[in-house]
Amino acid sequence: MNLDFKIKNLLLICLIFLGVFNQYYSQTGNVGTFKTGADRPETYLPLLKGKTIGIVTNQTGLMSDKTHLVDFLVKNNIKIKSIFAPEHGFRGDADAGEKVKNGVDVKTGIPIVSLYGNNKKPKPEQLKGLDIVIFDIQDVGARFYTYISTLTYLMEAGAENNVEIMVLDRPNPHDGYTDGPVLKKKWTSFVGMHEVPVVYGLTIGEYGKMVNGEKWLKNGVQAKYTLIQMQNYHKKMRYPILDKPSPNLPNDKSINLYPSLCFFEGTQVSAGRGTDLPFQIYGSPWTKDLPYQFTPKPNFGAKDPFLNGKLCYGENLSNYPTDLRELNLEWVIKAYKNYKNPQQDFFLKNLWFDTLAGTDELRKQIIAGKSIKEIKASWKTDLDKFEKIRTKYVVYEN
């Protein structure tokens, strides 16, 4: 009887172990088969053979073995006529808003054309002789991050000049949810070209499909648009980023907080540019009641940072949970309430805050002392309306 009991227990333990092992194996097996668009060359190489190609990419255009897509295509005898570089440049080392220069890629000898500054949209002569332009950039999933605007201009130029646009899709670190005010047309700019919320819950490939499908390009033109989908991508899972998308988003922590902290760029408060913790801290010389102290100084990611050399008081959020699934207004409101500077208003005179928000309502609500709950409730109607558009273009499971 006792022996029987022991054997039964042993069998039960074995079965439990096998069940747990199988479950673990199937989960890791699934993760193991995840691939970005770039890592599915069997899908796109046949479409590129014998064609003349342009490519919009930067330092994030990597394959899983860290080979750059440009080098991989050259090795596979794909004829690349030009590389188009977005904000921050082809190698990703230019400051935000810094002029990106034309030049030549030292490694391959391919000419580099800047798509920033005065030339955000490729000119007809820059597209001449091209059959396809590939777009492969790691996006961040916030409306004011400019790579979706670069894609929009590229699609518009492609449609006008009969050049196909092929997007190699990558994960969105803020996928699986939508949040924030929806942009009002009056505030259209390079940091917000479409009537979408701050967090729009689409991969860059899905976003391009939406822009095309909704006829949001100038004069309602539509591009010939090919999406190379990811494999085994789930919108609510988070995936490692192969390289930092820009100098001031060096890691998952900065990317996680970026949609919430970017609003500080329209205020007298620093979001940590010129420190080791960009978009993980905030503060100013006029918020002295806040506990954390830092002094912005010139560094690789910010040659002349905002509040350069000034002691700032604020908060360090670098230990905040790294899977933030909402736009958090707590920090902007706290800074506003703690701001004491009779000489300068909290919001910059140029009202860049409104441009980032895509509306003047958020600024007015903060000044009026509205609660976070009240502010978020005011977004609901527009978010519901956007959701109806968004769902038409979703190609991946939650």
Q: How far is CA 279 from CA 152, 194, 204, 257, 366, in A?
A: 26, 24, 22, 6, 21
143 shares its domain with 260:
no
Pick the last residue of a domain from 205, 220, 241.
Answer: 241
Question: Domain tally for the chain?
Answer: 2
Q: Is residue 26 part of a domain?
A: no
332 shares its domain with 357:
yes
Rg of the chain on CA atoms, in Å: 23
Give the torsion through C-alpha atoms of 210, 214, 217, 219, to 10 deg: 170
pLDDT of residue 23: 32
pLDDT of residue 18: 44
49 shares its domain with 179:
yes
Which tokens belong to 42? 């069997």
Neighbours of 309 (CB within 10 A): 10
Which tokens belong to 162? 């009969």
- Give which of 92, 371, 397 is closest to 242, Cα–Cα: 92
Range of the domain at 106: 41-241
- Give which of 82, 95, 201, 216 is closest to 149, Cα–Cα: 216
pLDDT of residue 232: 97
53 shares its domain with 73:
yes
Q: Is residue 179 part of a domain?
A: yes
> Angle, nearest 10°, between helix axes 204-213 and 147-160?
40
User: What one-character-per-residue DSSP string does 223-235 give?
Assistant: --EEEE--BS-BT
| 3 state DSSP class of 380 | helix
CATH number at 72 reads: 3.40.50.12170
Q: Is residue 283 part of a domain?
A: yes
- Residue 64, φ and ψ in degrees, nearest 5: -60, -25
73 shares its domain with 178:
yes
pLDDT of residue 21: 36
220 shares its domain with 269:
no
98 shares its domain with 225:
yes
> Are residues 296 and 288 in contact, defined by beta-carbon separation less than 8 angstroms?
no
CA–CA gap between residue 110 and residue 106 (Å, rounded): 8
Strand ranges for the chain from DSSP E = 52-57, 79-85, 103-104, 111-114, 132-136, 164-168, 179-182, 197-199, 225-228, 281-284, 292-294, 312-316
| 3 state DSSP class of 307 | coil
173 shares its domain with 265:
no
Strand ranges for 129-192 from DSSP E = 132-136, 164-168, 179-182
Q: Is residue 235 part of a domain?
A: yes
pLDDT of residue 101: 67
CA–CA gap between residue 4 and residue 241 (Å, rounded): 53
Q: Is residue 8 part of a domain?
A: no
pLDDT of residue 4: 55
Q: How far is CA 170 from CA 37, 53, 68, 229, in A?
A: 6, 20, 14, 8
149 shares its domain with 103:
yes
Q: Taking the chain (398 residues) in consecutive chunks of 10 residues, what is each chunk's mean pLDDT?
A: 53 46 34 88 98 96 96 97 86 63 84 89 97 98 96 98 98 97 97 98 98 97 98 95 92 96 98 98 98 96 95 97 91 98 97 98 98 98 98 95
Q: Is residue 348 part of a domain?
A: yes
Give the burial string for 125-158 (b: 16+ CB within 10 Å, else e).
ebbeebbbbbbbbbbbbbbbbbbbbbbbbbbbbb
State the DSSP H helix or E strand holding residue 33, giving kind and residue range, or none if neither: none
Pick the last residue of a domain from 241, 276, 308.
Answer: 241
- Give which of 43, 5, 72 is closest to 231, Cα–Cα: 43
- Give which of 303, 72, 353 is closest to 187, Cα–Cα: 353
pLDDT of residue 104: 86
- Give which of 38, 45, 66, 256 is closest to 137, Cα–Cα: 38
